[in-house]
A and B are shown apart, each in its own frame.
Chain A
Amino acid sequence: MNRLLRRSTPLLLAALVASATGCASHKSYQNKNMDFGSIRAIAVLPFANLTRDNLAAERVRDVFSNMLLASEAAYVIPPGEMNRALARLSIQNPTAPSADEIVKIGGMLKAEAVITGVVKEYGEVRGGSSTANVVSLSAQMFEAGTGKVVWSGTSTKGGLSWGSRLLGTAGGDPVNDVTEQACDDLLKQLFR
């Protein structure tokens, strides 16, 4: 019994460390029946902001839209045109539109898909004497024709590492770098 315990202790420790540091685990949903190749134009709606930084949602949306366009997988409707459509359709809450509203937006902008998002964390987190930047966001893609969710993903990047907790260091990556990592992760989930 003692020998078994001695042998399994390192394994148990490794499992504990892995669960404490949080192995990057993201849950995403993708509609199997959706033909993502048919999407040519995407409208990215303003993201909901659940952080203290007033501009967080705007910054993250800009980076996400830019990376999506730069991937050349689809055309992204410019934000000015998007704002005009939202004003014309008198949509009260553009961060959480109804299925009808999504169909209207898609029709007006001639977009095959509409993306909404939520920024949950943006900026510095503290743990004892150590600090680091973290960005957490989730996004959903709706089919503009029906208003149904066809993809959903979430990503969290940055935060305190085990080493920084141990040594009490401050810093980590700049928040913009972490934002890019999170958006890149989301796009990987989308194009999986």
Chain B
Amino acid sequence: MIAFVVRRLLQSIVVMLVVALLAFSMFRYIGDPINQMVGVETSSEQREELRERLGLNDPMLVQFGRFVADAVQFDFGVSYQQKKPVSELFADRLPATLELAFLSAVFALACGIPMGVYTALRREAWLSKVFLTVSLIGISLPTFLIGILMIFVFSVWLGWLPSFGRGATVDLGFWTTGLLTVSGWKAAIMPSITLGLFQMTLIMRLVRSEMLEVLRTDYIKFARARGLNDRAVHFGHALKNTLVPVITITGLQLGSIIAFAIITETVFQWPGMGLLFLQAIQNVDIPIMAAYLILIAFFFVLINLIVDMLYYAVDPRLRVDRATSSGH
């Protein structure tokens, strides 16, 4: 177990270093950092002096080491465009994105699991067919189109919900939350449904296929033979065994929710990290791009690591497999 954990940790560190190298080369080779920092009237001596002072003449390896050391403390310097420390910008935006991601994950689970169970238990019911058809359409519709459709129906047409922003937020000092105000909740409804819809269809299909598989197993037949009623068989035995893969997939999907938030945040002008990143891409604001890349990579690596460990802990069959192959 310890050997597995250590190797898995080492792998994660290697991945993070590769990502850091990518981010570092973005800093170093895309445009000249000095040009971004000084005006046109700076003389070449002053530029050279600044270059020396910032350590840009040091060997690459030293520079990369310094970059990694700064990155560990989440110090990515100052945004070219907004002239503020990158860490400050991210601290402002992080709560919005995490709240959005959390709400959409809750939505996806709260709707996806019951729908999956229903479609598995009542395969022929018309409602099941509706669910499955809708989920196929949901997969085919790009996220941004769903967002626009919802804005059109609920904001433009019916006028029920706001189409942009986060509503009123409450500042808790270290965290700004929109979940304590009515307008905050109203503003969060459409973005979180838009973001969660794809995951919801995914969870629904997963629960359905797992459930169908579990219902065919011997212990379900045995449970029925023992004379347990449908309710106990379906929810006590079948559903419980369905949930392990669902939890893993949800965990892995959490990373993509945060990444896909870029699109949702753009559609609804939600002031999160994704919007910040997108503006950075349009303005070629390298410090923000590098910081976002590293932050997202960190989230993904962390989630993958946790899921892998959980797998290992939950399913003894995997221990042999995973120890021989390198795992992923």
- Do A and B pair up? The answer is no
